[in-house]
Amino acid sequence: MNKKSSSSLWVSFVVSSCASVILSFFLGSWIIIFFRRMGIVDFRLPFPYEMIVISVFSGIIIGTIMMLIVGCSIINPLAKLREAIREVARGNFDVRLDEKIGIEQIREMVHDFNIMADEISGIETLRNDFIANVSHEIKTPISSIEGYATLLQNDEITEQDRKEYSEFIFESAKKLSTLTSNILKLSKLENQEIVQVKNKFSLDEQLRLAILTLEPQWTEKEHELDIELEHIIYFGSEELLLQVWLNLLVNAVKFTPSKKKISVSLYREDGAVVVKIADEGIGIPKEAQSHIFEKFYQADKMRSSGGTGLGLALVSRIVTLCEGSVSVESEEGKGSVFTVKLPE
C-alpha cells in the first residue's frame, strides 16, 4: 500500500472514531433527557450522581458498539486477506477474495491481491507445462540413445547395423544438446528485459553470413536462393539477431522440398528495417499459425521433422527484446513468409 492510501485509511479510521464518539454523546444525552421526563432520575438533587453514571455507562456501551462496527469493517477484510496470503504461501493459487468492501483502500488491496493470485496461477500453469514439455522432449532422445546403445552391445549385429545404430545415437545426442542449449538461452532471455550489448554492424552482411553458414544444408537439397539485401548499418545486438536469422533460415531449409526457392530480402519501410524470409515449403496450418511462437509448440508436420519447438520461441523473444515484431503468413502446400520488423 502506498503512502497516500495508508494516510487515507488512517483518516477514515479517525473520522469514524470521532463520529462514534459524537454519536454516543448525543445518544447518551437523549437517554438522560428520556430518564428525566420519565421521572426515573431526579435532577433537582444537589449533585446529580445518577446523571454522571448514566452518561458514562451509556457512552461506553454505545461507543463500544460503534467501535466494534467500525473495527469489524476494517479488521475482518484484513483478516481474510491475511488468511488468503497464507493459502498462497502454502501453494493454493486458486484462492480469491470478495471485492465488495465499503472502505476504498481495503477494496483496492483485495483487488490487487486477486490480480496477483491470477498472475501467480498463470505462471504456475506455464511452469508445470514447461516442466512437462521439457521432460517429454528430453526423454525421447535419451530413450533412443539407451535403446540403440543396448543394441550395439550385441556382438552378432552386422557392421552395417552397427554403423546405422551409431548414427541414430549421434542424431539423438545432437538433438538433446540442441534442446538443452535452447532451453538455457530461452531461460536467460526470459529473465532479461533489455539488450545489454549493442553495436553498429552491417545487417546485410550478417544475413549473408547466416545464409553461408547453412550452405551445406541448402546445397544438399538444391534450393534456389533469391537474395535481395539493401545495405543497412544497424545499431543493435549482433549476437542475438544472428540467432534470429539462423533459426528462420534453418526452418525454411528444413521444411522446403528439394529444388524449391527460398527468398531473403532486407529493406527499409515506414521508419523500420524489414527482413523477409520466404519459402516454397509445406506451409503451416491456419489453426497453428497463432501458436507457432509458443514454447514447445509444434504442428504435426513440424513435429515429424524432429524439431524441439523452441526455435521460433527464441526468435519471438529476441525480436521483442529488440523492440521489434515478428509475424508469419502461410498457406499449406504453398510455403511461408516470416517478416521481422526492427526499429531504426
* Gyration radius of the chain over CA positions: 36
pLDDT in tens, 218-260: 899 999 999 999 999 999 889 889 989 998 999 899 999 999 9
Is residue 55 within 8 Å of 32, Cβ to Cβ?
Answer: yes
Identify which of 23-32, 196-205, 222-231 has the greatest average pLDDT.
222-231
Q: What percentage of residues in the chain have a pLDDT greater than 70?
A: 67
The Cβ of residue 41 has, within 10 Å, a number of other Cβ atoms equal to 17
- Using N-to-C axis directions, what is the helix angle for 311-321 and 238-254, rounded to 10°? 150
What are residue 222's DSSP bridge partners? none
- Asked, colleague to colleague, whether 134-190 and 199-343 share their fold, the answer is no
Could you tell me the pLDDT band of residue 314, with boundaries at 50, 70 and 90?
confident
Predicted local distance difference test score (pLDDT) of residue 1: 45
Q: Pick the range with the lowest mean pLDDT from 40-44, 76-80, 98-102, 197-201.
A: 40-44
Amino acid at 213: T
Domain 199-343 is found in CATH 3.40.718.10: no
Predicted local distance difference test score (pLDDT) of residue 342: 94
Grid cell listed for 15: 473520522
Q: Pick the range with the lowest mean pLDDT from 84-88, 179-183, 258-262.
A: 179-183
pLDDT in tens, 73-86: 667 777 788 888 88
Could you tell me the pLDDT band of residue 267, with boundaries at 50, 70 and 90?
very high
Predicted local distance difference test score (pLDDT) of residue 43: 52
What does the mean pLDDT of the chain come to? 78
128: left (phi over 0), alpha (psi -120 to 50) or beta: alpha
Assigned CATH for 134-190: 1.10.287.130
- Per-domain boundaries in the chain: 3-92, 134-190, 199-343
Per-residue pLDDT at 200 exceeds 90: yes
Query: CA 151, CA 335: separation in Å to the nearest integer?
Result: 40
Question: pTM of the predicted model, to two decimals?
Answer: 0.56
